[in-house]
C-alpha cells in the first residue's frame, strides 16, 4: 500500500516536472521572440519642426507626412530667398542633401544662376502660401509669391506665383533630395497635370474637328465649281 502511494506520488512529481519544463521552455521562446522583435524594431524619433504646428516622426528609412512637409517648406525658404551675397551660402547648404544622381546637374544650375545674380545684381524673395503633400508620388509642393528685383530699389520689384517641388527619401534618419524643380504657377500635382492634359486633348480634338469641317467645305466648294464649269461647257 505504501509502495503504491509512493509510486503514484513519484509519477505525479515526474508529470509536474515535465509540465513545468514545458511551461519554462514556452516562456523562453516568448522572451526570445520579444527580444528579437524589439531589437529589430525601427527606432521612431518624434520631433516638432519649427515650420509646423504638429509633431513629425522619422525612422531610419521613412518619415511622416509632416516631416517631409517641414523639410519642403524649409528648402523652399532657402532656395526662394536669394541675393548676390548669400547665393554661395545656399549652394553650400544644399549640396550635402542632394542625391548623387542629381548632384552635378543641380550644382551646375546653381552656379549658373549665381553668376547671373551677381552680374545683374538680382535679388529674389519668396513668400510661401501653401504646402501640399501628394501621397501617390511622395512629392511636396510649396506654392507662394516670388518677388524679383534688380539692384536695391523696390520700385521695380516684380511679383509672380511660384511653386517649389521636391521629392525626397530618408536615409539613416536624414533627408536626401531625389529631385527638385521650380516653376511659375500653381502646384503641378498629378490631378492638376491630368486635368491640363485632358483640356489639351479636348482642345486638340476641337481643332481637328474644325479642320475636318473646313476641309469638307473646301472639297464641296471645289466640286460645285467643277460641276458649274462642266455645265457651262455643255451649253
| Residue 193: C-alpha distances to residues 22, 54, 68, 201, 202 (Å) | 63, 30, 22, 12, 14
Q: How far apart are the first and last CA of the chain?
A: 146
pLDDT at position 45: 59
pLDDT at position 31: 72
User: Could you please report the per-residue DSSP string of 151-203?
Assistant: SS-STT-EEEEEEEEEEEEEETTEEEEEEEEEEESS---HHHHHHHHHHHHHH
Residue 34 has pLDDT above 70, yes or no: no
Closest to 175 measured CA to CA, from 92, 101, 72: 72
Residue 22 in grid coordinates: 514545458
Return phi, psi of residue 79, to 5°.
-80, -25
- The answer to pTM > 0.75 is no
CA 133 to chain centre: 7
* Chain segment 190-220, per-residue pLDDT in tens: 887 777 667 666 666 666 666 666 666 555 5
Instruction: Return the ∠ at Cα 211 (arms to 209 and 216), rounded to 5°.
Output: 95
Measure the CA–CA gap between 181 and 166, rounded to whole angstroms.
7
% of the chain beyond a pLDDT of 90: 34
Residue 58 has pLDDT above 70, yes or no: yes
Residue 225 exposure: Cα atoms within 13 Å on the Cβ side: 6
Top-confidence residue, 20 or 105: 105
204, burial (CB in 10 Å: exposed 0-12, middle 13-18, buried 19+):
exposed
* Chain segment 93-142, per-residue pLDDT in tens: 999 999 999 999 999 988 888 888 888 888 999 999 999 999 999 999 99
pLDDT at position 144: 96
138 Rama class: left (phi>0) / alpha (psi -120 to 50) / beta:
left
Show the domains of the chain with their CATH numbers: 45-193 (3.10.450.230)
172 Rama class: left (phi>0) / alpha (psi -120 to 50) / beta:
left
pLDDT at position 134: 93
User: What is the number of other CB atoms lying within 10 angstroms of the CB of residue 158?
Assistant: 9
Top-confidence residue, 5 or 203: 203
* Chain segment 72-101, per-residue pLDDT in tens: 999 999 999 998 889 889 999 999 999 999
Q: Are strands 174-184 and 139-150 parallel, antiparallel or unpaired?
A: unpaired
pLDDT at position 227: 52
Amino acid at each position: 500500500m505504501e509502495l503504491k502511494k509512493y509510486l503514484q506520488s513519484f509519477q505525479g512529481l515526474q508529470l509536474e516536472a515535465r509540465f513545468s519544463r514545458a511551461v519554462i521552455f514556452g516562456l523562453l521562446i516568448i522572451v526570445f521572440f520579444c527580444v528579437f522583435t524589439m531589437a529589430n524594431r525601427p527606432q521612431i524619433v518624434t520631433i516638432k519642426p519649427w515650420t509646423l504646428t504638429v509633431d513629425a516622426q522619422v525612422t531610419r528609412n521613412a518619415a511622416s507626412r509632416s516631416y517631409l512637409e517641414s523639410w519642403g517648406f524649409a528648402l523652399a525658404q532657402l532656395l526662394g530667398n536669394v541675393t548676390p551675397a548669400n547665393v554661395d551660402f545656399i549652394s553650400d547648404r544644399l549640396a550635402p542633401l542632394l542625391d548623387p544622381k542629381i548632384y552635378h546637374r543641380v550644382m551646375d544650375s546653381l552656379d549658373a544662376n549665381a553668376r547671373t545674380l551677381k552680374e545683374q545684381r538680382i535679388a529674389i524673395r519668396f513668400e510661401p502660401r501653401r504646402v501640399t503633400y501628394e501621397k501617390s508620388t511622395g512629392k511636396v509642393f510649396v506654392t507662394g509669391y516670388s518677388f524679383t528685383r534688380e539692384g536695391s530699389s523696390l520700385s521695380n520689384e516684380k511679383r509672380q506665383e511660384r511653386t517649389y517641388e521636391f521629392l525626397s527619401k530618408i536615409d539613416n534618419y536624414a533627408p536626401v533630395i531625389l529631385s527638385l524643380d521650380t516653376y511659375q504657377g500653381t502646384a503641378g500635382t498629378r490631378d492638376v497635370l491630368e486635368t491640363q492634359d485632358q483640356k489639351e486633348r479636348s482642345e486638340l480634338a476641337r481643332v481637328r474637328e474644325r479642320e475636318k469641317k473646313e476641309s469638307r467645305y473646301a472639297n464641296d466648294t471645289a466640286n460645285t465649281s467643277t460641276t458649274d464649269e462642266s455645265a457651262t461647257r455643255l451649253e
